[in-house]
Amino acid sequence: MNAQRWPQLGCGVGLRTEHYDSIIQQWPAMDWFEAISENFMDSWGRPRHILEQVRQRYPVALHGVSLSIGSVDPLDERYLKHLKALVEQIEPIIVSDHLCWSGVDGKNLHDLLPLPFTEEAIRHVVSRIQQVQEFLGCRILLENVSTYVTYAHSTLPEWEFLATVAQRSGCGILLDINNVYVNAFNHQFDPYEYLRGIPSERVGQFHLAGHTPMDGYLFDTHSRPVIDAVWDLYREALRKWGAISTLIEWDEDVPPFPQLAEEAQKARAISNQICGGAQTSSTARHPSSAARL
């Protein structure tokens, strides 16, 4: 599978329940929205109705939290069928999930749990990504997750693990810049070295979010504005890779939509400043759907 550039959508925000009314009443200027797949794939009520309306007016990416690509349990066929049905209906620009595992022995821990960075884990995950991409009929992006533990038997740094998985499987990388920062603090590595270790042709999207300092570690809460140090990392990523679709995540203590849109505007301004061109948010863009296999 050839690596390809991913669509450049500009700067968007997550589609959250708290903003449904605001969005459908005003259809605000916004480059694109990212919807959490699980909030829509099992719902044929208001959530799906809202998503359909949003999709008619904006590019939409589907971002999952339950694929559990790294679990040793078999891939969940029911999950994949429901995801595929949603993908076929919504025709998202991007389909993504996380490079992690979420459960074992049939029990779901509902978290994005860290994998050991080993050759065994790479082989396991690569094989499953290929199955998922084949089933969905499109390439997916996998996101680096924030973590609070690391395994003593890991043999690679996180960025090398992520890069190797992407290169061997053909999937893209959704690089969460905030997660790079959080992990760099928690596990004491240089976040800029992380960026240097990621192959440019694999990066299809950025996430930006806020986090919360705890007692001795940073917690990826998505409950605050992006901090300056993460904006600096974002600038470095743009200098390295050029303009790439960027999304502001905000999931706890969700502010009114205009405040969220301001964060997206800030990302847009930084991207324009570094990469040139004037990205403008739009309500009437209909790029083609997710990259096909």
Partner 1 sequence: MDAPEPSLRDVQRWIGAHIQPETTVSTAGDVRLNPQRNIPGISRLSVYAHGYQARLRQALAEVYESVHQVLGTGAFSELVDSYARRFPSRDYNLNFSGRHLPEFLVNSLWVQRLPFLADLAQLEWQVCQAFHAISYPPITPASLHGQSFEDWHRVRFIFQPSVSLVRSAWPILDIWEVRHRPRSEVNIDLVERPHNVVVSRSELQVRCQLVNLPQAILLEALLAGQTLDETCERLSGDCGENLPPIYEWFFQWTQQGWIVRWEQTHVDSS
Cβ neighbours of residue 143 closer than 8 Å, sequence gap 6 or more: 63, 96, 97, 98, 99, 173, 174, 175, 176, 179, 207
Rounded distance between C-alpha atoms, residue 63 and residue 282, angstroms: 21
45 binds partner 1 per the rule CB under 8 A: yes
Question: Per CB under 8 A, which of residues 271..290 are in contact with partner 1?
Answer: none
190 binds partner 1 per the rule CB under 8 A: no
Nearest distance from C-beta of residue 67 to partner 1, angstroms: 9
For helices 228-241 and 177-187, the axis angle rounded to 10 degrees is 120
Question: How far is the CA of 208 from the CAs of 117, 152, 176, 177, in angstroms?
Answer: 24, 29, 6, 6
Rounded distance between C-alpha atoms, residue 237 and residue 244, angstroms: 9
Phi–psi pair at 24, nearest 5 degrees: -75, -15
Member of 31, 38, 143, 176 binding partner 1 (CB under 8 A): 38
Query: Is the CB of residue 97 less than 8 Å from the CB of residue 136?
Result: no
87 binds partner 1 per the rule CB under 8 A: no
Question: Per CB under 8 A, which of residues 66..85 are in contact with partner 1?
Answer: 66, 68, 70-72, 76, 78-79
124 binds partner 1 per the rule CB under 8 A: yes
Member of 186, 245, 271, 289 binding partner 1 (CB under 8 A): 186
Member of 2, 25, 74, 149 binding partner 1 (CB under 8 A): 149
Rounded distance between C-alpha atoms, residue 257 and residue 20, angstroms: 9
Interface stretch with partner 1, choices 103-111, 136-144, 163-171, 235-243 (CB under 8 A): 103-111
Query: Is the CB of residue 8 less than 8 Å from the CB of residue 244?
Result: yes
Interface stretch with partner 1, choices 51-59, 212-220, 233-241, 282-290 (CB under 8 A): 212-220
Interface stretch with partner 1, choices 88-96, 149-157, 255-263, 281-289 (CB under 8 A): 149-157
Member of 2, 25, 74, 188 binding partner 1 (CB under 8 A): 188
Could you count the other beta carbons within 10 Å of the beta carbon of residue 228?
8
Nearest distance from C-beta of residue 12 to partner 1, angstroms: 23
Member of 27, 84, 89, 116 binding partner 1 (CB under 8 A): 116
216 binds partner 1 per the rule CB under 8 A: yes
106 binds partner 1 per the rule CB under 8 A: yes
DSSP-based three-state secondary structure for 12? strand
Nearest distance from C-beta of residue 116 to partner 1, angstroms: 6
Half-sphere exposure of 260 (CA within 13 A, CB side): 29
Nearest distance from C-beta of residue 257 to partner 1, angstroms: 20
Could you count the other beta carbons within 10 Å of the beta carbon of residue 258?
12
150 binds partner 1 per the rule CB under 8 A: yes
Question: How far is the CA of 51 from the CAs of 68, 92, 98, 207, 228, in angstroms?
Answer: 24, 11, 22, 20, 32
Residues of this chain that interact with partner 1 (CB under 8 A) are 38-39, 41-47, 49, 66, 68, 70-72, 76, 78-79, 101-111, 113, 115-116, 118, 120-121, 124, 148-153, 186-188, 216-217, 219
